Structure 1
Amino acid sequence: MTTCLNYIQGQWKESQTGDVKEIYNPTNGTVLGKVQQSSKEDVDEAVAAASEAKRAWRKLSGAARGQYLFKAADILESRIDDIAKTMTEEMGKTLPEAKGETARGVAILRYYAGEGMRKTGDVIPATDSEALMYTTRTPLGTVGIITPWNFPVAIPIWKMAPALIYGNTVVIKPATETAITGTKVVECFYEAGIPEGVINMVTGAGSVVGERIVEHPSIAGITFTGSDKTGKRIGQTALTRGAKYQLEMGGKNPTIVASDADLDKAVAGTVSGAFKSTGQKCTATSRVIVHQDIKDQFVDKLLSAMEEIKIGDGLQEGIWMGPCASEGQMNTVLDYIDIGKKEGAKLIHGGNRLSDGALGQGYFVEPTIFDEVTSNMKIAQEEIFGPVIAIMTFCEIEEAFELANDTDYGLSASIYTEKIGGMLKFVEDVDAGLVRINAETAGVELQAPFGGMKQSSSHSREQGEAAKEFFTSIKTVFVKG
């Protein structure tokens, strides 16, 4: 049985508390391993190590820092099968999806490794003809990283890689539910020979480890992905002490199906966007807003497509959807299904925990579809983070845009239409940080900025060149001979 250790100052070590927590496989309830339940003192030790290492790390050239990322990428690529299997065992994602996510982590590392050779500033004309004025960028210093369980490879890497390449040191707290996967990711950096103290990992409860990372005076920036409730607390604490913060939070993502949509394409995108990864994506399709003239035809095709979904152990060939990541997450999903029924929405597919045979040992919930949903219902407003969609109808396209915007969230949105005018109006009118046309709501390109509007984000952006804006500060230089 695996017992994960913290990684501090280049060493793997037990928590000062001596406490550990068991990690369970959501497919069958078996124990996979144990993870350290660390203390604030463990965090302090990690921050001290990162603070000590930051000067030497930032003094390296971008190209030299990039070489460590290239090496880590090669090691991660050589371990894709093992890490993907661990991910599937820890949080239930199917093996093909887990392999795809791990491969994406490799690509992210290589992308940011290349950033070490790209420009960091601009020359700006000075009013003094005998002077030189230009900008450069300086790292924040030590960055705290708090990541969720749903993408235990991609999200930690898309935060760590830019932080590192731009000259910061990091202290990361991976989600407890996927700490074994998180440990294997950090091991790739360790094997790549990254200098001691540049990366530090501390596992444990968010109320202890996460809270100390956020409040620590030596951490200059915090980047967080998770629930909006936790994110808001982090933002308030960081603001109080003047730390920079970046929050990526929830979504209630709509797909609009216009009257002229290619229905086969729209159904395929809806099923993929809503039910892959068991709906446990912040960009997952949660609401489907369908034109009334084609709704019956769309629903018939959607129900037919549902019959093709094979549910089970994500390690088995042919399985399309796995379990909820934990018992708690499963219970949350089932609670929302009960709420939908009580609110008067029409349940037309699923809605139950699967309990037959081997599935009864895990946290499996049927893909669930509610029809006749109105915008005032909780299942149309609150993030469920599970395999549940709400179908709504509209008459005019402007009504569809109003329904799409009628939530506190604004992460991603999509539309299926063949009309250029409808596409352009959708792009202009829908309040979402990511808009996709004739494609599912889920799908983030690593080289493009990613982030939400309204309550989905702190209005910053991750990934691509946009990551530079968070992990560095601009310094203006004026030189006169």
Structure 2
Amino acid sequence: MSTEHGIYSDGNWIESESGETFEVRNPADTDEVVGTYQSATSADAETAIEAAVAAQDEWASTPGPARGAILKETADILESRKEELTELLTAEEGKTHAEAGGEVQRAIDIFGYYAEKARDLGGTAKAASAENKQLYTKPEPLGTVSLITPWNYPIAIPAWKLAPALATGNTVVFKPASVAPGVSRALFEALDEAGLPNGVANYVTGSGSEIGSVFADHEDIDAVSFTGSTAVGTSVAQQAADDLKRVQCEMGGKNPTVVMPSGDLEMAVDSVATGAFGVTGQACTACSRAIVHEDVYDDFLDAIVDHAETLEVGDGSSGVDMGPHVTESELEETLEYVDVGIDDGATLETGGERLTGDDYDDGYFVEPTVFSDVTPEMRIAQEEVFGPVLAVISVSDFEEAVEVANGVDYGLSASIITQDLSEANHFVDDVEAGVAKVNEKTTGLELHVPFGGYKQSSTNTYREQGDAGLDFFTSTKTVYLNY
């Protein structure tokens, strides 16, 4: 029997006004109900916003170090629950135990990082143009902010939005993806246990169509931070723009890894495979295109196919290399793209089938998939698949590689494998991506540097993480003091 979980509103765990709930099931074994959650109404969302607005002034006036102390205590509480949350994340979303543990640790580290940053929040002093004057800046919280997060990193992404929002003195209303809401619930349990005042942070579960629009366009919301698909993010940004709310949307990607002849082949295969098949390819920074110089194309293709065929797929809790898709619809979409690739003339080298039999029948498992003979205009080379599907593209030189890398509507993460210093630097200069990597996989982010994309990967307003995360959640007041 699964546990029924409430909405966290004004410091209390309560039921939705609708009285309705929804179940979250294990994608590796759909007979297992992991948890039951409230189907919140727009009225529930508005009540949470009212609580956040009421708590604004007191939280904003709380000294930064005191806010940081609560975040630090939250990090410690999460640390004490790490194994429990790792198992919950695997059961809800399907990640392997190692992937889930890494994500939980990242959330812990993010809260610890912003706990310390809260001590240093302050403006800058500037030289005035006359005597007996002071000129300085003063950062101030925006007010009440709404956070809308996806299912694929269900604790890390909420953490990197929630922690800087609270550190800078904002109050928060938060909506997790309904597919995997449990691990983010733990953030609010930890904040509550750490002594966060009532109303400062509020957690509301339910459908995006019911409460997402309230969080995007409510008159008392001062800023919106969203991560998810480009289609939904564009809609959120348009709704938020109606009354000039500050908005930040991080969205899709079609991330390339360029492989050059000077690069280490083993490194190239490892980087591409980890980026393409890690977390079942369900990452906005996943590597979905390997753009390979023709001189090493055949060797790379043979090696990446061999690597894909060695990966063990199964229940993430059982020590496998790759877990299931999170839902049946995500699995079906990946299989549809496999058909699209074949129809467009690409060669299916390996994978592309749903796994069945034995322990696979009750889950959403798919084989790691590699296509060769892919041309840049094919749909599998242009559209975000969000599954473990790799398109391998041959190019004749470095210039063509960069042109192909840039020839999509997205620009989130890109990498190159090379030992040529000139190629490395030209790639960093010329690639159209918010994250450029040399001799690294496209996935994996440091928490203290900015993260965001170009083109349809982002609203191109504010970055996330590090000091950039603080910048989004604050407004700068310039002070002229004549004494």
Query: Of 460, 463, 474, which aligns to 2:476?
Result: 474
For residue 54 of structure 2, what is the aligned residue in structure 1?
A: 52
Counterpart amino acid of 1:58?
A
Consecutive aligned runs of 4 or more in structure 1 exceeding 6 Å deviation:
none
Q: What secondary structure, in the 3-state scheme, does the structure 1 residue paired with 2:30 have? A: coil
Return the alpha-carbon distance in structure 1 between the equivalents of residues 182 and 38 of structure 2: 11
Return the alpha-carbon distance in structure 1 between the equivalents of residues 27 and 3 of structure 2: 17
Determine if the alignment matches structure 1 residue 70 to structure 2 residue 72: yes
TM-score (norm. length: structure 2): 0.98
Q: What secondary structure, in the 3-state scheme, does the structure 2 residue paired with 1:2 have? A: coil
2:215, 2:221 within 8 Å by CA — same for their partners in 1?
yes
1:278, 1:321 within 8 Å by CA — same for their partners in 2?
yes
For residue 316 of structure 1, what is the aligned residue in structure 2?
A: 318
Determine if the alignment matches structure 1 residue 189 to structure 2 residue 185: no
Deviation at 1:2, TM superposition (A): 1.4
TM-superposition CA deviations, 1:413-457 (whole Å, max 9, x none): 000000000000000000000011001000110001000011101
Segment drifting more, 368-377 vs 397-406? 368-377
Return the alpha-carbon distance in structure 2 between the equivalents of residues 218 and 210 of structure 1: 14
Count of residues paired in the alignment: 480
Return the alpha-carbon distance in structure 2 between the equivalents of residues 370 and 297 of structure 1: 15
Correspondences of 1:104-123 after superposition (within 5 Å): 104-123=106-125
Counterpart amino acid of 2:71?
L
Determine if the alignment matches structure 1 residue 224 to structure 2 residue 231: no
Deviation at 1:308, TM superposition (A): 2.3
1:413, 1:436 within 8 Å by CA — same for their partners in 2?
yes
Correspondences of 1:293-304 after superposition (within 5 Å): 293-304=295-306
Determine if the alignment matches structure 1 residue 213 to structure 2 residue 215: yes
Deviation at 1:323, TM superposition (A): 0.1
Q: What secondary structure, in the 3-state scheme, does the structure 2 residue paired with 1:129 have? A: coil
For residue 339 of structure 1, what is the aligned residue in structure 2?
A: 340
For residue 362 of structure 1, what is the aligned residue in structure 2?
A: 363
For residue 259 of structure 2, what is the aligned residue in structure 1?
A: 257
Correspondences of 1:5-24 after superposition (within 5 Å): 5-24=6-25
Correspondences of 1:146-161 after superposition (within 5 Å): 146-161=148-163
Return the alpha-carbon distance in structure 2 between the equivalents of residues 122 and 135 of structure 1: 5
Deviation at 1:193, TM superposition (A): 1.3
Deviation at 1:128, TM superposition (A): 2.0
For residue 83 of structure 1, what is the aligned residue in structure 2?
A: 85
Q: What secondary structure, in the 3-state scheme, does the structure 2 residue paired with 1:344 have? A: coil
Correspondences of 1:284-433 after superposition (within 5 Å): 284-317=286-319, 319-433=320-434
Query: Of 230, 233, 239, which aligns to 2:235?
Result: 233
Return the alpha-carbon distance in structure 1 between the equivalents of residues 387 and 58 of structure 2: 44
Return the alpha-carbon distance in structure 1 between the equivalents of residues 183 and 385 of structure 2: 24
Deviation at 1:241, TM superposition (A): 1.4
Return the alpha-carbon distance in structure 2 between the equivalents of residues 444 and 402 of structure 1: 25
Counterpart amino acid of 2:387?
G
Return the alpha-carbon distance in structure 2 between the equivalents of residues 328 and 181 of structure 1: 22
For residue 444 of structure 2, what is the aligned residue in structure 1?
A: 443
1:254, 1:289 within 8 Å by CA — same for their partners in 2?
yes
Return the alpha-carbon distance in structure 1 between the equivalents of residues 146 and 198 of structure 2: 17
1:283, 1:441 within 8 Å by CA — same for their partners in 2?
yes
1:404, 1:430 within 8 Å by CA — same for their partners in 2?
yes
Deviation at 1:13, TM superposition (A): 0.2
Deviation at 1:307, TM superposition (A): 2.9
Q: What secondary structure, in the 3-state scheme, does the structure 2 residue paired with 1:86 have? A: helix
1:370, 1:389 within 8 Å by CA — same for their partners in 2?
yes
TM-superposition CA deviations, 1:90-144 (whole Å, max 9, x none): 1100011111110111100010001111142111111121110100101000000
Return the alpha-carbon distance in structure 2 between the equivalents of residues 85 and 471 of structure 1: 32
Structure 2 residue runs without a partner (length 5+):
none
Return the alpha-carbon distance in structure 2 between the equivalents of residues 391 and 11 of structure 1: 51
Return the alpha-carbon distance in structure 2 between the equivalents of residues 53 and 471 of structure 1: 16
1:4, 1:179 within 8 Å by CA — same for their partners in 2?
no
2:22, 2:37 within 8 Å by CA — same for their partners in 1?
yes
Identical-residue share of aligned pairs (%) = 45
Deviation at 1:305, TM superposition (A): 1.4
2:309, 2:368 within 8 Å by CA — same for their partners in 1?
no
Counterpart amino acid of 2:110?
I
Counterpart amino acid of 1:275?
F
Return the alpha-carbon distance in structure 2 between the equivalents of residues 378 and 35 of structure 1: 37
For residue 284 of structure 2, what is the aligned residue in structure 1?
A: 282
Return the alpha-carbon distance in structure 2 between the equivalents of residues 119 and 8 of structure 1: 28
TM-score (norm. length: structure 1): 0.99
For residue 131 of structure 2, what is the aligned residue in structure 1?
A: 129
Deviation at 1:185, TM superposition (A): 2.1
Determine if the alignment matches structure 1 residue 177 to structure 2 residue 173: no
Determine if the alignment matches structure 1 residue 245 to structure 2 residue 247: yes
Segment drifting more, 116-125 vs 71-80? 116-125
Return the alpha-carbon distance in structure 2 between the equivalents of residues 316 and 119 of structure 1: 44
TM-superposition CA deviations, 1:337-381 (whole Å, max 9, x none): 111111111100101000121112100010001111111111111
Return the alpha-carbon distance in structure 2 between the equivalents of residues 238 and 183 of structure 1: 25
Deviation at 1:16, TM superposition (A): 0.4
Return the alpha-carbon distance in structure 1 between the equivalents of residues 312 and 155 of structure 2: 25
Q: What secondary structure, in the 3-state scheme, does the structure 2 residue paired with 1:233 have? A: helix
Return the alpha-carbon distance in structure 2 between the equivalents of residues 242 and 454 of structure 1: 21
Counterpart amino acid of 1:320?
D
Q: What secondary structure, in the 3-state scheme, does the structure 2 residue paired with 1:138 have? A: strand
Return the alpha-carbon distance in structure 2 between the equivalents of residues 255 and 168 of structure 1: 38
Counterpart amino acid of 2:391?
A
2:372, 2:392 within 8 Å by CA — same for their partners in 1?
yes
Return the alpha-carbon distance in structure 1 between the equivalents of residues 465 and 416 of structure 2: 24
Q: What secondary structure, in the 3-state scheme, does the structure 2 residue paired with 1:93 have? A: coil
2:54, 2:199 within 8 Å by CA — same for their partners in 1?
yes
Structure 1 residue runs without a partner (length 5+):
none
1:372, 1:392 within 8 Å by CA — same for their partners in 2?
yes
Return the alpha-carbon distance in structure 2 between the equivalents of residues 32 and 377 of structure 1: 39
Determine if the alignment matches structure 1 residue 164 to structure 2 residue 169: no
1:27, 1:323 within 8 Å by CA — same for their partners in 2?
yes
Return the alpha-carbon distance in structure 2 between the equivalents of residues 365 and 167 of structure 1: 44
Q: What secondary structure, in the 3-state scheme, does the structure 2 residue paired with 1:56 have? A: helix
TM-superposition CA deviations, 1:372-428 (whole Å, max 9, x none): 111111111111100001000111100000000000000000000000000000000
For residue 105 of structure 2, what is the aligned residue in structure 1?
A: 103
Q: What secondary structure, in the 3-state scheme, does the structure 1 residue paired with 2:120 have? A: coil
Return the alpha-carbon distance in structure 1 between the equivalents of residues 357 and 441 of structure 2: 31
Counterpart amino acid of 2:284?
C
Return the alpha-carbon distance in structure 1 between the equivalents of residues 242 and 218 of structure 2: 12
